[in-house]
Amino acid sequence: MLLLLGCSARKRHDTQPLPAILRYDGPLYQDLRAFLRRRGWPPALRIGTFSAEYGLIGALAPIPDYERRLDSERAAQLRSTVLATLARWRDLADRTVLVAGSLYVSSLLPALQAAGYSSVTVVPGAIGEKRAHLGRALQALPSVLQTRHDPVDMGRRTVFFPDWEDFLDPDFDFLTEHFSGPPGARRRVHAATALGEPISDGILVSLAQRLTHKGLLKQLDRSDPRSTAPQQLRQYYQLPDDAILFGDCGAFSYVEEEEPPITVSEAAFLYHIYGFDLGASVDHIPAPYLPLPERQRRLQLTLANAAAFLAEARHYGSFHPVGVVHGLDAADYARSTALLIEMGYRHLGIGGLVFRSDREIAEIVRAVAAVRASMRRRIWIHLFGIFRPKLQHLFEESRVDSFDTASYYRKAWLRSDQNYLGVDGRWYSAIRVPVSSDPRNRRKLLQRGIRPEDAVELEQQALRALVAYAAGEQDVESTLDAVLAYDSLIDRDDLARRDLRSLYRRTLLARPWEQCPCVVCRSLGIHVVIFRGGERNRRRGIHNTRLLYRQVRNGDQCFPADHE
């Protein structure tokens, strides 16, 4: 069902943009939100709003506050854009229900007919009759609310994989380097599920994606069909039923802003409709480089937001609210922890730790753990954005319950000497064979006067040499000669100071990919240690993360040296 509503004169006046369904606060919108709160967002429901300011837009499209009423002149101005939007929405549903005032109906109904909508129901009558009809139409839709997972029930430490659109093509051919199809038509699997076995206990998804053009929650134009309904995260990421969905606000993305761009009501609403198991309160990081008064203001704002967020979360009752803890020092973190527990939080997330040294983090964790130990109730504690291998003994002693980290995943391509984690617990350098057709590499080659065809020939010789070495058909030194002959063409300042031959020789002689039983290493062979393009690099990151996850699951406390 495509439900079309007129906008309402009554609005929420939050200064930040809000989804249209939250911005408008007339009786129909209040009824609609009450239904969604009780029943969740039915998969068959699409909602559009005819806004006097913005035209026909999706209910999830964020809009600023405004004051404008629809009149016949404004309706005529919007006609062409409304027709264009209806053309984009034609296949969203097999029937359309129009619930709006007479001027909205007289504008939308001819446009619906002109756009080819054949099954349109116009709800007649005064506002009371419209509300009753809307209620009956919504009640006929199935409920989708399900019991949300609580990591406390797992009885062990949990690890979350932070998502930032880490998808790969499962059918990529590493010999021909062909994808399964053109961009937009390729098969895609998420890094967290590509292995066929878990590499984490769930995914951490940031609502800050709504401020960007990347991710499931990314910014869309207001008339995009995807803004008419939420896509369920479990389906999008192809997660197993027991995986946990953890949402936060991505405070690092707006640390330079005066105020968080996400409101408390918006955060709670989005956690609810997207099916999150855990949702973090709206925080604002008191970064250490900020003036002291500003840091103190952010601490108070974070606590005030946490109180308001807990009330909103209880209003929905569908996800577990996580209170975000910040502080200027360990004592501040302890005070904030106590205040959040007094508010009623049973799940806490310690934020702002990325800025901190190991010594500072140790002090903070001890202080928070001491407060938690004094409480009668079980309090679950998550550390945002860090893992810190050297502190794992302390975290275990302090009963830290959970982490989110992508450090082992991203080291696959962000470090020159620690890209592949062997089952022996040692880091190995991946062997770089850059893609010569990459625009950046092509520019470098042209600047150095190297013909593209010469570069391609050396590139292919390097790849053939590595494959031959893995098959036992070529010795290590001649393989290195071929790799470095091509490698020397690409001027990379960050690697120029390193002895690449020694790093690469160590990797080749150890042949670590042969010792690992994971699907990535079994299927890719030596390609898993070739630093070349996203398909290889992401798979190497998956391999690294799998080993980290298995160590955590096994209760190990000795981890390879790492820098996050």
The residues annotated with a catalytic role in the active site are 248, 404
Task: Enter the DSSP assignment of 147.
Answer: P
3-state secondary structure of 42: coil
Listed residue (462, 464, 410) closest to 434, CA to CA: 462
Residue 415 makes CB contacts below 8 A (sequence gap 6+) with none
What is the CB-side half-sphere exposure of residue 291 using CA atoms within 13 A?
A: 4
Q: Compute the CA torsion angle 524, 528, 531, 536 (nearest 10 deg).
A: 60
3-state secondary structure of 426: coil
The H or E element spanning position 113 is helix 102-114
Query: Quick check: 206 and 248 in contact, CB under 8 A?
Result: yes
Q: What is the C-alpha radius of gyration for the chain, rounded to an integer number of angstroms?
A: 27
Query: Quick check: 318 and 145 in contact, CB under 8 A?
Result: yes
3-state secondary structure of 192: coil
Listed residue (84, 85, 95) closest to 117, CA to CA: 95
Listed residue (449, 428, 455, 437) closest to 510, CA to CA: 428
The H or E element spanning position 268 is helix 264-273
Structure tokens at 56: 């026909």
Residue 471 makes CB contacts below 8 A (sequence gap 6+) with none
Residue 546 makes CB contacts below 8 A (sequence gap 6+) with 195, 197, 199, 518, 520
